Amino acid sequence: MNVQVYTAAWCRDCRAAKQFLDSHGIPYTEIDVDANADASDELIRHVGKRAIPQMVIDGEWFQPYQPGRGLLLDELCVRLQIPRI
């Protein structure tokens, strides 16, 4: 499984998403949209706005966070094939 996470250092939701991946042993590539203008442009092309955190899981874009709900744990588990206990 290939996982990329579009993040920024100031984003606490990005930190929560990375912590979730780390806690489940899911390897990922972090892409900092503040440090990489091309990555920020790519994010806008695919999502239509600069919404982070954003994941690309095996080529499929997914926003693992929703305002008012936080991290979408059930959806993350399904997409990453993690059993929910």
Which domain covers residue 29, as residue numbers? Answer: 3-80
| 36 domain-assigned | yes
Question: What's the total number of domains in the chain?
Answer: 1
Confidence of residue 84 (pLDDT cuts 50, 70, 90): confident
32-61 per-position pLDDT tens digit: 999 998 998 999 999 888 889 999 999 999
Query: What CATH number has the domain bearing residue 75?
Result: 3.40.30.10
Residue 85 located in a structural domain:
no
Does the residue 30 lie in any domain?
yes
Predicted TM-score (pTM) of this structure = 0.90
Structural domain contains residue 50: yes
- The values of phi and psi at residue 42, to 5°, are -65, -40
Distances, alpha carbon 13 to alpha carbons 7, 63, 85, in Å: 9, 11, 23
